[in-house]
A and B are shown apart, each in its own frame.
Chain A
Amino acid sequence: MSEAPTSTQPLISVEGLHTYYGKSHILDGVTLHVGPGEVVGLLGRNGVGKSTTLKSIMGLVHASAGKVLLEGENIAGVPSHKLAHRGIAYVPEDRRIFRLLTVMENLRVGLDRDGVSDARKDELLDKVFTFFPRLGERRHQAGGTLSGGEQQMLAISRAMMLEPKIILLDEPTEGLMPSMVTQIRQIIDALHKEGVAILLVEQNVPLTLAASQRVYIMEKGIVRHHCAAAELDVNHAVIKQYLGV
């Protein structure tokens, strides 16, 4: 699926972002953008700052310089819980579902928002349980008792409950069996069809290239390469350079 980068205002725009962890300079001027409804991949080796970029967008990490814009508005300093209501959903690596809450309670956390009618809530729940029948079966089970794949389903569903404009997905396929990886791909496609943008951080290069319209490649805290996903394949020199062992 190749499309030219959209010329309408980007949904999320990161410009020259710098972050530090103690004295370590983690993000060294990251610049990228995600258009409405676009699936954008973010590739790079471990430790280059991909997760930190997502966390900075979500307001979970404080940026020392640079801008993050949501639909043109600067969201630096806006608390994460407000961002969640403004349309940004975050699915962290290692899932981090609420282990002692049931599946339903996990979903309710995102579902019980102002301005959502009961009918709409039921609709959203139905949608999720149709997507993930296994979650439906286990809806009153504690999150911690689910398998790794089921927890990932729950983490993504939880984000979907927020009816977000963009989902920040951090390594969703990590540690999952191939059949689950396919399911993740299907979800990404389905969300894309609904017009939900996704910023996908992944180690799985083929999946990322297949699911995204554009990709960024990071190295040492900065974006080194940016192009349409269709221009790359697993054996491309660029991939080998920034992601090869």
Chain B
Amino acid sequence: MHALIAFLKDIPIDLLIIQTVNGIVTGMILALVASGLTLIFGIMDVVNFAHGELFMLGAYVGVIVMVATGNFWLALIVSFLVIALLGAFIQIVTLRPLIGRDPLNTILVTFGISLILQNFALWYFGPVARRMQAPFTGHFILFYLDYPWYRLLIAALSAAIIGGFWLFLKFSKYGVWIRATTQDRVMAQAMGIPVPLVFTGVFALGAGMAAMSGVLFAPLVGVDHAMGLDWVLKAFIVVVVGGMGSLGGSVVAAIFISLLESYASIWVNPSQAVIVSFVVLILTLLFKPTGLFATPK
């Protein structure tokens, strides 16, 4: 016990705080990606393998708009709209025909879509990563680092988007439709809710949210065709740990896992830090397979 305390005391407090901030920033983006995923699963039992590619394409659209107009907010909005439309199209063409069939078919189909989108991006945009400049520069001094304000903005924006979405779900008429359909799609139909349209709308919404996460994340790293893969995997872990279909659970799980990974990065290099999320997943499956942070939603 003493050794542990001594070990923890040895970690410089400033490093801890920096990693905490980093963890929260990535956690919020991950939360935004995961909420789209869990929403789609919760309402129509579709595991959207292509979610990472929607994230990636959203980032590309953002880059294009940013280069053309220099306006970050425009990039966010256009990306949301374009990818939401793409999502609606995908759902109508490939997922609607599968309604009523074994849900495992949807995993296969979305996997196929993810292959197509990924290779399309590779072919159309090329293998070289693109960079997006941050919407504004400027840092503050966080201990010994020049910490860009932009990172805090991302976290705040993600939180705002998730918050706005939650308000939409709770108070608007369509939010009630979505929640009713999620709970009992048969009775929702019997009550006059156009369930097939709600499915398309939710898929589009989830896609749009993934796209926005992509735009928010783009200035932090280079944008390339493979960036979706890592995110979709992590998002899946978050969704399982948070409880599939639980919006609140995903948000908490996303931040939790990101923080743990951030702290782990103090000792090991980042590509190994992902093991942390795997361990959390295994523990969740062993002890609480329905999700560590599940809240009914």
Contact = CB atoms under 8 A, between A and B. Distances in A.
A81 B192 contact: yes
Contacts of B180: 98, 101, 105, 109
B173 A98 contact: no
Task: Label chain B's interface by main secondary structure.
Answer: helix
Interface residues of B, number: 20
Interface in A63-82: 79-81
Interface stretch (A84-92, A193-201, A203-211): A84-92
B194 A98 contact: no
B190 interface: yes
Contact of A112 (B173, B188, B189, B297): B173
B190 A98 contact: no
Contacts of B184: 96, 98
Nearest to B186: A60
A96 B191 contact: no
A205 to B, nearest CB: 27
Contacts of B188: 81, 98, 109
B167 interface: no
Contacts of B179: 98, 100-101, 105
Nearest to B179: A101
Interface magnitude class on chain A: 20 to 34
A80 B196 CA distance: 11
A53 to B, nearest CB: 15
14 contacts: A81-B188, A81-B190, A81-B194, A81-B195, A84-B190, A84-B192, A85-B192, A98-B179, A98-B187, A98-B188, A100-B297, A101-B179, A101-B183, A162-B192
- Which one of A81, A89, A105, A113 has the greatest number of beta carbons of chain B within 10 Å? A81
B193 A81 contact: yes
A92 B297 CA distance: 23
Contacts of A17: none
Contacts of B193: 81, 109
Given A81-B194, A85-B192, A110-B191, A101 B176 contact: yes
A100 B173 contact: no
- Which one of B183, B186, B190 has the greatest number of beta carbons of chain A within 10 Å? B190
A79 B196 contact: yes
A109 B296 contact: no
A182 B196 CA distance: 39
B97 to A, nearest CB: 15
Contacts of A90: 190
Given A98-B180, A108-B173, 16 more contacts: A79-B196, A80-B186, A81-B190, A81-B192, A81-B195, A84-B189, A84-B191, A85-B192, A89-B190, A98-B183, A98-B184, A101-B176, A108-B176, A109-B191, A109-B192, A162-B191
Nearest to B189: A80
Nearest to B188: A109
Given A60-B190, A109-B188, A99 B183 contact: yes
Nearest to A99: B183
Contacts of A162: 191-192
Given A79-B196, A101-B179, A101-B180, A58 B190 contact: yes
Contact of A100 (B186, B190, B296): B296
A85 B192 CA distance: 6
A58 B191 CA distance: 11
A203 to B, nearest CB: 22
A158 interface: yes
A79 B192 CA distance: 9
Contacts of A98: 179-180, 183-184, 187-188
